[in-house]
Amino acid sequence: MDKIIIQGGNILSGTVEASGAKNAALPLLAAALLVDEPVLFHRIPHLHDISTMMTLLAWQGAKVMFDDQFCLHVDTSSVTKPAAPYELVKTMRASSLVLGPLLARFGEAVVSLPGGCAIGARPIDMHLRGLELMGADIKMEQGNIIARVNGRLKGAHIVFDQITVTGTENLMMAAVLADGETVLENSACEPEIVNLAESLRTLGAIITGDGSHRVVIQGVERLHGGEITTIADRIETATYLAAGLITGGDVTVTDTDASMLESFLAKVRETGALVETGDGFIRCKAQGRLRSVDIDTQPHPGFPTDLQAQFMALMTLADGVSVVRETIFENRFMHVQELARMGVEIRLDGNSAIVHGCEKLSGAPVMATDLRASASLVLAGLAASGETEVSRIYHIDRGYERIEEKLRKLGGRIERVSANESGLQGSASL
């Protein structure tokens, strides 16, 4: 099993490009199932979950191919298997995203659910209730969702019990081929949902209200092919900005959009760091030791839960005590005990973590427990004195494209090593 070895203490500075967003690309790829013509995708990141989705589409019968310009061509006109078997989707939390498109286009779908998520429950009850309101017959058998509809789905008025990103995406995709009007109330308004809605409109869908908590979809007879571009990964963007800040550096991320990160950047400004934004770039520069800042995670446009762990890493070296409150997932503090191994005092109190900023972190062997936790440990390792070894880094490969290469470009001393390499402990070539 691969590990990441970091020799900390370097100040990170320079410029790095943002990749396409995984959380946008996955629903966009699922949306290709709604179309019986070719779709060309730009800025698809090379990540494990993306590879899984591509493999699933190919298994279903689609033609899936990257060209020499790294554009992805997907043609689902030859899909014959409206299913997602466990063997293919067991590692991909977003597997439920194919349910709505398959049901809308083929009238049936058999989708296996992956195992439980380490950071908390992600029930899809709201997805299923919405599809039932649209006329689907749904049952569960041996871990599979079996959904069928007689004819076409019907437009419906659907009110989510709580805000759900994948639920909004799934039902939006199902509704574009339904008869009549569908209204989604209390819907999520993340930038990735806006990206999906804009892309569906490019393919012929009629959608209004995306970016708000009330989305209205007028069903159409069919969609057509077209070209789709994935937005920048706002979580990756913020992670590299945080890498500069935690090391006392000055990092600029290009090909990104500051409007997607307003809550994060507001908190960065509160720490005393310099924040500059412009057309397609964000710059964050440390100006002395950061000040402690409290955060509460909230649905967009609030502070993203996917940046909670990275911001906590920043607070480990801040001046003062900060409170990090997690309101989205019930088990998203597993990185706390790993950060504590590096010399910081963090106390848990219910859904809050009280972080006592320290003068310095010390390198240590740590273990990643989920995607964003792994990023926080890498950030801490970049700032720590000595060597940090991060194990179970398959988590980080789910959401960060070429992370070692990008961090090295900024001045980080970081390498990936295989577990079977000799002299692993403390002897990686950096």
Query: Annotated catalytic sites, by residue?
Result: 117
Judge contact between 268 and 30, C-beta under 8 A: no
**What are the two backbone dihedrals, phi and then psi, of residue 101, each rounded to the nearest 5 degrees?**
-60, -45
Q: Is the peptide bond before 301 cis (omega within 30 degrees of 0)?
A: yes
Of 189, 198, 261, the closest CA to residue 229 belongs to 198
Give the type of residue at 88. L
| Sheet architecture: strand order including 3-7 | 365-367, 387-391, 3-7, 413-417
Sorted by sequence, the CB contacts under 8 Å of residue 312 that are 6+ apart come out as: 324, 335, 336, 339, 346, 353, 355, 376
**CA 245 to CA 251: how far, in whole Å?**
8
| Measured distance CA(338)–CA(386) in Å, rounded | 16
Tell me how crowded residue 116 is: count the other CB atoms within 10 A of its CB.
Answer: 10
Sheet harboring 181-185: ordered strands across?
157-159, 181-185, 214-218, 206-208
Collapsing DSSP to helix, strand or coil, 272 comes out as: coil
Q: Residue type at 423?
A: G
Identify which of 75, 46, 51 has the alpha carbon closest to the alpha carbon of residue 62: 75
**What tokens appear for 284 in the block?**
């964050």
| Helix 165-175, helix 99-106: angle, nearest 10 | 10
Answer for the pair 262, 285: CB distance below 8 angstroms, yes or no: no
